[in-house]
Every structure is written in C-alpha cells, then in structure tokens.
C-alpha cells in the first residue's frame, strides 16, 4: 500500500462574533506595535539620544524612529497619525503637546537628553520602538486630545473585536512633578463608518511608581450592521499638564474567533475508501450560520469553491451552541496527495465576497494515510530558480523496491506534464539525496512541480507540490505555502551574491528564529525548515543586508 496525504484545514471564518476561545491576528500589525517595517530609524536624531555601541544602555543605536503622519493630512487612509508635534532633538519633549517614537528613554543607569527624567523601554522587549507623549491639558481647546489615530480599519458587520494596548506613566514617582491628579488617563475610542462613536476602553489614572511599569488596557466592541470600517483614536482624558507623561505600545485590534473541534483527526484512510470528516462549529452568538466548502490543489496557494453557500442550523443550549458539518471524500487516490479542503463560515451570504474578513483557524488538521508500510519515506522536496533554470532537490530516509522518480511540471498548479525522471536507489535504509535540472521552466509567473515515486512492480505515489517564481525580478518578498505547517519557502530577487539575515517574529514582534542565508544574483527561493515549536497564528519574516530589506506576513496553521 502507498502512503498518501489528504489534508483538511478546519475552518476559515468570515465575520466571527462574540466567542471566547481564540483571537485572530492584530489588524494593525506593525502600525500598532511601532515596529519595522512601519517605523524606521531617524538618521537625523540628536547624537545625545543614541550611541553606536549601545553604551550607555539608555542610549542604544537607532534609538529614535521616524514620525507618524500629521493628523490634518486627509490623503493617507489606513496610516497612523498624531495631532501632537513630533520631535527628535535634545530637550525636544518640552513643553507639552509633543511626542517622539523611541526605543529607550531611560533606565536604571540614567536617561537621555530628549527628556532626562523619563524612564521606559519598549513594551515588546525586542529592541523596537514605542510612542512617548508629553500630554497637554485636555481641557485647553488650543490642543487636540488625540495622541494616535488610524482610519479605515476594515471590519465585518456583526463581528466582535477585542482591543488591547499597553500604556505607561513615564514619570518616576520620585520626581517633584509626580503630583496627585496629574496622572495620565487615556481613552480608546472607535468611530464607525455609520457615524457611531464608542469609548471601548479607558486606562483610568496611571499611578506614579519609582520604577515605571507597563499596564495593559483592553476592551471589546461589535461592528454594527452595515459597518465595514472604523477609526481608532487614543485620546487624552487628563485636564492638567504637569506630570501628564505617558507611553503607548502594542496597540491591537483582533477578531474573537471560535472554538472548533474535528472528529476523525487521528483516523487513517486507505486508497479506494470514502472518508467522512465531521467539523463541529461552536459559536455562542449563533451568527455564523452560513458556510461553504473550498478546495486547493496547489498546496494552499489558491482555493476554489467546491459547493455553493448554504445555511446551517445551530443546536445546543446557552453557552454551548454549535452545528455539525460532514465532509465526504469519494474514492481516495494517490493523485489526491497534497489536496487541501477547508470550510468557510460567515455571518451572511454576501460576506463571502469580502476576503478581508477571512480569518484562519489552523488548530485542527487531519492526514489520511494508507494502511500498509511505506516503501519510500520522502523527507523533503524543494525547488529553486536561478538564471533561467529550476533546480529540484529531494531526499529519502528509506527506500524499498523503488525504481524511479518521475518529475511533473505545471503552469497553473492543476494540469501537470511529465518532464523527466531520475533513477532511485532501489533499497536503502540511509538518507539518499536527489536532484533534477529543468532548463526550460518558462518565463515569468510561477511553475509548480511534483514527483511521482514508482516502485519496481509499477505501483506509485505522488509527493506534495513545490512552487517556484520564474524569471520576474521582484521588489517584494513572497512566501509559499501561506498558511504554512512545518516549513515555508521564501522567494525574492537580489542583484548580487551575499549573505543576508532572516528573522521570523511572532505577532507581537518577538524574534522566534534568526539565521544567516546565502543569496545569489537573480531570483532566490529559500526553503525554511527545522523550525522551532510555533503556535498557530500570525508571524512576520524579514530578510535584510546592505542591499535587501524585505518584509512579509505569514500564518502558521
């Protein structure tokens, strides 16, 4: 019997509401965490705010980031702005109504010249920036109360969102200016596209401490019917000036997602069987009743509808409402290897047309395997493009009665043609490495490759699909597959041979992987495997050296 793989991604949510299990990715991304690539170092910052070697500790290199946009500029939708004045020079945070983007404004070893007595480092702790503000009296009409504002955040009608932010009182309690009644107090306001205004969270008075500490502020709101976008504002609620000094970091807006269970996740399916997989959708709001099935034949790069939208009926009791859906797969075959099925749920039929409302819950997958031993254990399969040629590499951990590998290529990920073959070892219990050169892969776009492993007796199995970018110099980084499971491939272009640094960060900007990769002149395709243990969710990959500065968002299933 052959081993085959048919993966089932549990659920994709459109407009998920009022659930208590998980949170989706931060809709604000780097714009809310004051991190690269949204924030970049200010090369003109005063020398006394930073040192090349980071000594002393309270003046690290690239300590000041570039400014947010001005609040009066109406031509920058989706861009964070501030009504306060941006500063980057010595004593710049004097007097009130000023702000800066900074990594470290002071620690136990001292403070820097932009504001000598303030103490704070970015909340994330990864060497990024935060927003430091010298608040003006909120009661003075001369000053705007808005520290931070971002417009045109896409939301889904009827969907509940959780807001979060971290705030800090920058003035130590030992300061003469740390007077009762002057503590920072900020509100977080959502303005919906229908004109509705809601205060969704308030910090209250942030007390003075000898060593200032970050405080989390959270709240929730539900987008009303017909609302497709909102504006988020961070507003000053303190009426005095002295002591009204604060920091903001890690501002987030996340969909609350559902809890999903999957029956049959550990079962094994044989060739020729008709597996049935049951998805149980838990939604205590009983709003995500619309659903449809989708299928991908190119490793998750694209999905097409396999059914029309339909509506389910919730069952259960208060606090435990759910519905079950059964996916039927007919006559499983080796050629189905790598195929991905998923369920898409929504609050309304027309919500399926809004891709920005889609959130992936990748917590549950199922693999269908054969019922007998595996004659060939394929460890990996990679493709890379350079100078008009694609090189395929793969390895096997063991082989039993293996005859050859046939190589298939496709331009669309669906229709494949045989382009060559490689003789296999036959029988082996050691790691064997193979390669194949495709000298005519085409120009531009993508090429898709898969292997057909054939036994001496004529039986065969297909591998998963490898996708590679062809011949088009890219100004951006691309990732495949996305979402990823155990590994992913990065594609980008470079103008010379050089080493570059790859950094993978989690949703709050913390590095989880860092490695040096070798880049070549032209198109590069780099497979990233041997990953550390990663929880499902959003990650950010960057590649940089003197020439390159690529950034991309990806999802771990």
- Top-ranked range on mean pLDDT: pick from 117-126, 260-269, 334-343: 117-126
| Residue 160 CB-half CA count within 13 A | 19
pLDDT of residue 498: 83
Q: Which residue has the higher pLDDT, 303 or 14?
A: 303
Q: Round to whole Å and give the CA distance between 104 and 536.
A: 31
Instruction: Report CA dihedral (259, 260, 266, 271) to the nearest 10 degrees.
Output: -160
Choosing among 2.40.10.170, 3.40.50.880, 3.30.390.30, 2.60.40.10, the CATH entry for 376-469 is: 2.60.40.10
Q: Round to whole Å and give the CA distance between 122 and 104.
A: 7
pLDDT of residue 354: 63
Residue with tokens 């198109």: 523
Q: Determine whether domain 23-256 maps to CATH 2.60.120.260.
A: yes
Round the CA-based radius of gyration of the chain to a whole number and report it: 27
Q: Round to whole Å and give the CA distance between 355 and 551.
A: 22
- Top-ranked range on mean pLDDT: pick from 15-24, 47-56, 375-384: 47-56
pLDDT band at 4 (very low <50, low <70, confident <90, very high): very low
What backbone torsions phi and psi does residue 510 show, to the nearest 5 degrees?
-80, 130
* Cα angle, residue 80 at apex, residues 75 and 85 outer, rounded to 5°: 95
| b/e per residue 348-367 (b: at least 16 CB within 10 A) | beebbebeebbbbbbbbebe
Lowest mean pLDDT among 42-51, 173-182, 338-347, 411-420: 338-347
pLDDT of residue 443: 77
pLDDT of residue 221: 86
Is 268's pLDDT higher than 90? no
| b/e per residue 291-312 (b: at least 16 CB within 10 A) | bbbbebbbbbbebeeeeeeeeb
Strand pairing class (549-556; 537-544): antiparallel
pLDDT of residue 63: 95
Cβ atoms 397, 377 nearer than 8 A:
yes
Is 95's pLDDT higher than 60? yes
Q: Round to whole Å and give the CA distance between 250 and 39.
A: 13
Q: Is the C-alpha dihedral spanning 474, 475, 480, 482 positive or negative?
A: negative
Which class for 273: exposed (0-12), middle (13-18), buried (19 or more C-beta within 10 A)?
middle
Q: Is the C-alpha dihedral spanning 230, 234, 235, 237 positive or negative?
A: positive
Q: Round to whole Å and give the CA distance between 350 and 366.
A: 29
Average pLDDT over residues 332-347: 71
Give how far Cα 477 sits from Cα of 26, 473, 502, Å: 21, 11, 12
Choosing among 3.40.50.300, 3.40.50.1820, 2.60.40.2550, 2.60.40.2140, the CATH entry for 478-556 is: 2.60.40.2550
CA distance from start to end of the chain: 29
Q: Which residue has the higher pLDDT, 436 or 137?
A: 436
Residue with tokens 């041997």: 530
Lowest mean pLDDT among 313-327, 421-435, 533-547: 533-547
Its pTM stands at 0.55
CB within 8 A of 76, min separation 6: which ones? 69
Of 474, 472, 415, 423, which Cα lies nearest the Cα of 448? 415
Average pLDDT over residues 315-323: 84
Q: Round to whole Å and give the CA distance between 151 and 76.
A: 9
Domain edges within the chain: 7-21+258-361, 23-256, 376-469, 478-556
Average pLDDT over residues 111-126: 90
- Rounded mean pLDDT of the chain? 79
Q: What is the pLDDT of residues 375-423, one digit of tens each?
A: 666 667 777 777 788 888 888 877 888 889 999 998 877 778 899 999 9
- What is the DSSP code (8-state) at residue 367? B
Give the CATH fold of the 7-21+258-361 domain. Answer: Immunoglobulin-like (2.60.40)
- Top-ranked range on mean pLDDT: pick from 164-178, 228-242, 489-503: 164-178
pLDDT of residue 338: 64
pLDDT of residue 501: 86
pLDDT band at 8 (very low <50, low <70, confident <90, very high): very low
pLDDT of residue 509: 67
pLDDT of residue 363: 33
pLDDT of residue 197: 92
Average pLDDT over residues 244-250: 92
Average pLDDT over residues 137-145: 82
Shared fold status for 23-256 and 376-469: no
Lowest mean pLDDT among 272-281, 366-375, 473-482: 366-375
Give how far Cα 389 sits from Cα of 384, 443, 522, Å: 8, 10, 11
Is 7's pLDDT higher than 50? no
């Amino acid at each position: 019997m052959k081993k085959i793989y048919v993966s089932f991604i549990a659920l994709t949510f459109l407009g998920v509401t009022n659930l208590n299990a998980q949170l989706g990715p931060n809709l604000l991304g780097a714009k809310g965490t004051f991190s690269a690539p949204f924030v970049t170092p200010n090369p003109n910052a005063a020398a006394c705010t930073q040192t090349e070697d980071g000594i002393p500790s309270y003046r690290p290199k690239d300590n000041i980031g570039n400014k947010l946009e001005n609040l009066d500029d109406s031509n920058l939708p989706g861009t964070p702005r501030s009504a306060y004045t941006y500063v980057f020079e010595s004593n710049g945070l004097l007097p009130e109504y000023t702000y800066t983007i900074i990594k470290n404004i002071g620690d136990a070893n001292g403070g820097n010249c932009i504001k000598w007595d303030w103490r704070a480092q970015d909340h994330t702790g990864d060497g990024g920036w935060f927003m430091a503000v010298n608040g003006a009296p909120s009661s003075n009409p001369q000053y705007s109360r808005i520290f931070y504002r971002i417009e045109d955040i896409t939301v889904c009608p009827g969907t509940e969102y959780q807001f979060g932010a971290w705030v800090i009182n920058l003035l130590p309690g030992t300061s003469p200016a740390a007077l009762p009644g002057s503590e920072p107090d900020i509100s977080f306001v959502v303005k919906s596209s229908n004109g509705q205004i809601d205060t969704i969270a308030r910090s209250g008075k942030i007390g003075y401490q000898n060593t200032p500490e970050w405080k989390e502020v959270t709240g929730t709101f539900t987008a009303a019917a017909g609302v497709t976008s909102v504006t988020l504002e961070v507003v000053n609620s303190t009426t005095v000036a002295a002591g009204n000094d604060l920091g903001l970091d890690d501002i987030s807006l996340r969909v609350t997602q559902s809890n999903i269970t999957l029956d049959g996740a550990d079962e094994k399916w044989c060739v020729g069987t008709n597996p049935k997989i049951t998805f149980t959708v838990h939604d205590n709001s009983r709003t995500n009743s619309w659903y449809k099935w989708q299928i991908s034949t190119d490793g998750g790069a694209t999905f097409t509808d396999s059914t029309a939208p339909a509506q389910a009926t919730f069952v259960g009791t208060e606090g435990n409402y759910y519905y079950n859906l059964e996916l039927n797969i007919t006559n499983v075959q080796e050629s189905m290897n790598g195929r991905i099925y998923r369920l898409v749920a929504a609050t309304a039929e027309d919500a399926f047309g809004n891709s920005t409302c889609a959130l992936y819950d990748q917590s549950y997958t199922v693999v269908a395997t054969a019922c007998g031993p595996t004659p060939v254990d394929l460890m990996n399969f990679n493709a890379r493009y350079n100078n008009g040629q694609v090189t395929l590499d793969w390895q096997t951990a063991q082989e039993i009665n293996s005859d050859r590998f046939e190589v298939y290529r496709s331009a669309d990920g669906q229709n494949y043609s045989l382009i060559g073959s490689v003789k296999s070892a036959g029988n082996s219990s050691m790691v064997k490495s193979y390669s194949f050169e495709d000298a005519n892969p085409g120009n531009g776009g993508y090429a898709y490759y898969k292997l057909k492993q054939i036994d001496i007796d004529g039986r065969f199995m297909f591998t998963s699909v490898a996708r590679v970018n062809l011949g088009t110099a890219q100004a951006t980084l691309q990732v495949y597959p996305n979402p990823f499971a155990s590994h992913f491939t990065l594609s980008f272009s470079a103008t010379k041979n050089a080493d570059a640094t790859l950094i993978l960060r989690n949703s709050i900007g913390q590095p989880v992987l860092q490695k040096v990769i070798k880049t070549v002149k032209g198109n590069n395709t780099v497979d990233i495997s041997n990953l550390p243990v990663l929880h499902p969710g959003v990650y950010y990959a960057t590649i940089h050296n003197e020439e390159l500065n690529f950034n991309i968002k990806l999802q771990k299933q």
